[in-house]
Amino acid sequence: MGKGTVVEALLRRDASLWLSRSWTTRQQRKGEASDAYVFTDPSSFEARIAVGGFLEWTEFLGNYYGTPLPEAPEGKDVVLEIELDGAQQVRERHPDSLLVFVLPPSRAEQERRLRRRGDPDDKVEARLRKAEQEEPIGIALADVVLVNDDLDEVVSQLAQVIVDERTRRQPRSD
């Protein structure tokens, strides 16, 4: 259970959240839902970059990933489940965004999770190396850091972070 599982559970709990569906040029994994992403090819992705059609995009281990514009339905809070480079771009374009960095409980557990979903060895190693480099940067950038150990617990913590943030932003009536 990676970040995706956490976000899915969060969305089931909070009906005012809306999850953006990313574009990617990565191949669909075996057993992965066909609507997990908009699976596309590099030339379509690049054409969309050229017309400014992404809020943010990045190249992650040889594939493009990006958040398409336009955005959410009225009245919903937008959730992006993205990696570090994209989060940095979002922070620049939307300084008021709330950045939550979700850490695996340990590198060994992260490795088990990656292998369990069937990623090949070289991909697993590349992802672990990338995580190693990015974690200190992510921790420094994020507003909140959570450890993805127990699913129910991390989802509750995340839901609470959002409730607190909404309260903080509410205009005071007095």
Which range touches ligand 5GP (CB under 6 A), out of 42-50, 60-68, 132-140, 148-156?
60-68
**Binding-site size, ligand 5GP (CB under 6 A):** 14
Nearer to ligand 5GP, 8 or 164 (CB): 8
How far apart CA 143 and CA 158 sit, in angstroms, is: 12
Which residues, numbered 33-52, are part of the site for ligand 5GP (CB under 6 A)? none
Given 81, 110, 155, 158, the residue binding ligand 5GP (CB under 6 A): 81
Q: Per rule CB under 6 A, is residue 104 in the interface with ligand 5GP?
A: no
Q: Are 5 and 12 in contact (CB under 8 A)?
A: no
Which residues, numbered 61-80, are part of the site for ligand 5GP (CB under 6 A)? 65-67
SS3 letters for 78-100? Answer: EECCCCHHHHHHHHHHCCCCCCE
Given 6, 45, 48, 56, the residue binding ligand 5GP (CB under 6 A): 56
How far apart CA 46 and CA 53 sit, in angstroms, is: 10
Binding mask 2-21 for ligand 5GP (x = CB under 6 A): -x------------------
Cα 124 vs. chain centroid, distance in angstroms?
18
Given 1, 14, 17, 83, the residue binding ligand 5GP (CB under 6 A): 83
How far apart CA 59 and CA 155 sit, in angstroms, is: 28
Q: Are 46 and 94 in contact (CB under 8 A)?
A: no
